Amino acid sequence: MWRERALKVALVVVGLLFVAGIYPLVTSVRDGWQANKGGCCPMMLSLYVTLGIFLLLAARNPSANRSVIAFAAWSNIAHAAVETACRGGCPRCGSDGSSRQIAGMASVSGQQGRL
């Protein structure tokens, strides 16, 4: 019982963090994002905002939405691995991928026994 409650809280927190990317997405599109700017690509932000919305929806009934949770976890681990392989992160986004890797591992470890 407490594991499901902790999973719901984690899904809401991660979902809200991903949805928080809507502000940089809107401002970058509004300001006319260019490829040579140092900011993160709006396409990537839109994917994470969408994933955040689905994680918030999955928080209602995690056992029925295991595939969404597993996709979120494994896609974050894959993204972090690619960024790490690029010698410390994506040069355009300036991130090291460690926060995504930690969030992905936490999600996978929470669902490992149920998948």
Give pLDDT tens digits for 85-97: 776 545 555 555 5
Q: Is residue 82 within a helix (H) or strand (E), and if so which, with residue range? A: helix 66-85
Highest mean pLDDT among 65-69, 73-77, 103-107, 111-115: 65-69
Cβ-based neighbours of 95, under 8 Å, separated by 6 or more: 40, 83, 89
Q: Is 95 helix (H, G, I), strand (E, B) or coil?
A: strand
Q: Which residue has the tokens 């029925």?
A: 64
pLDDT score at 61: 92
